[in-house]
Amino acid sequence: MSNSYKLGISPLDLSSILEIINEDKNICLDNSLKDKIISCRKFLNKSINSNDNLIYGINTGFGSLYNKKISSADLSKLQENLVLSHACGTGDEVPTDVVKIMMLLKIQSLSFGFSGVQLVTIERLIEMFNDNIFPVVYQQGSLGASGDLAPLAHMSLPLIGYGDVRVLRKNSDGQNKHIKIKSSKIIKDKNWDIISLQPKEGLALLNGTQFMSAYAVWSLIISKKLAYFSDLIGSISLEAFDGRKECFDELIHMIRPHKGQLKSAKNIRNFLRDSEIQRSNKKHVQDPYSFRCMPQVHGASLDAIDHVEKIISTEINSVTDNPIIFTEQEKIISGGNFHGQPLALSMDYLALAVSELGSISERRIFQLISGKRGLPEFLVNKSGLNSGMMIPQYTAASIASQNKQLCSPSSVDSIVSSNGQEDHVSMGANSATKLYKIVKNVEKILSIELLNSFQALDFREKKSSEFIENLKLAFRSEVEFLEDDRLLHIDIKKSIDFLNNLNIDIDLL
């Protein structure tokens, strides 16, 4: 299998991005893209030299300074000043995996040949990407409208010798770890020249939606896995609760045939196939909603994930800087493709959908520890002396509540910037960082449910399905049955790691 991925052969999708990231693939440009990049740059140079017309961001100032003409001698300095002045990010660092996706998407967008950048600029970004040299970017600073200006400025700083980067180095244990160093040191170590930004290049680098898009891509990949885990862990909880399976019968779902609902019900039927617990007589005629309505709730989230994936797939294969250069039509058009509204709305929607997976999961945890259906209170022997699984439910409830607070939509907010020139912004960057936190939170809630569901299942004499029983064996090799109280923080961490280590093909989700 080749360790290289060629951009320009086919559109990027979630699977190809996951392949590049997880398999640490190098990226390169198809020759057809190189030709377009060179042709676009030549046309732009010709346009600049052949007339004195104002072209936004190329021989003018930026934002509300769009009428300020810049002399020919200062055009390169203008672009460097742009990158330096816009690198105003603050807050926590963006996770390295997200920065890696961000760089990939920026390279992809610039390579289409509508942005006017030098080939050497893109090639430097590619070399950094392939050498695992990732700029330090900060989470706060983008309004999600003029593109992700501050984050993309930080991503671009190493091109001109400024800022910090993270590089892979072996620690004392022989493990690879990203450490922070000055970009100037990397440039010296690599014997690189500092990129001399040409007219329009700084603007091309900073205008764009790649910060938002990278968070969206990462969150979508994890959300698809969480939707699958919700069906799986919910099925284990159903078995442990001695719940009924007829509510997952295909007949009931075919007469309300939402795609996600059908898929969720099918998943649950497959997980329960040949379960001895399901073949036993049931004392209860009906189960609580958090069990009985799993296909309807999980399925609605699945449909939302599917919708958002379509939006994001379009976005990551688009040109989102400004102005945009059309060489064949000999036009340079200033527009608004950098505006993050499609992303902001989609990520707010995805945040709601993923949060609901955590909300219903927390309710199943509550049911399991409540001393119902023959299960001991808090799923432990000698309760009273032992608190058992009492407090993990508190933790899940706390996280679920935080998710509800984080779900307040960012896309309905707007603050005027640049002296009124940029008078409606998407706040999609805030949507992105909130979504990331919600996704990580739901991962924790589902891990707590998994911990509880297997604890409860071990109190049942009858066996579940072969699939669930084999999964329980694997889980028990990492997390022992809770006989007496112990430090459950460690168990929750192990449960999170167990989920993260399950190999799931997202193409099958």
Q: Give the catalytic positions in this structure.
A: 56
Q: What is the DSSP letter of 402?
A: H
**Dist CA 495 CA 176 (whole Å):** 24
444 is written with which tokens?
């924790």
Give the C-alpha separation, 242 to 239, whole Å.
5
Give start and end residues of each alpha helix (H) in 316-373: 341-368
**Alpha-carbon span 343 to 409, nearest angstrom:** 12
User: Amino acid letter at 85?
Assistant: S
How far apart CA 82 and CA 150 sit, in angstroms, is: 10
Element (H, E) at 29: strand 26-29
b/e burial code for range 215-240 (CB count within 10 A of at least 16 → b): bbbbbbbbbbbbbbbbbbbbbbbbbb
Return the H-helix or E-strand segment holding 90: strand 90-93
- CA 36 to the chain's CA centroid: 30
Nearest-angstrom CA–CA distance, 41 and 325: 9
Contact 63, 419 (CB under 8 A): yes
The CA distance from 5 to 129, in Å, is 12
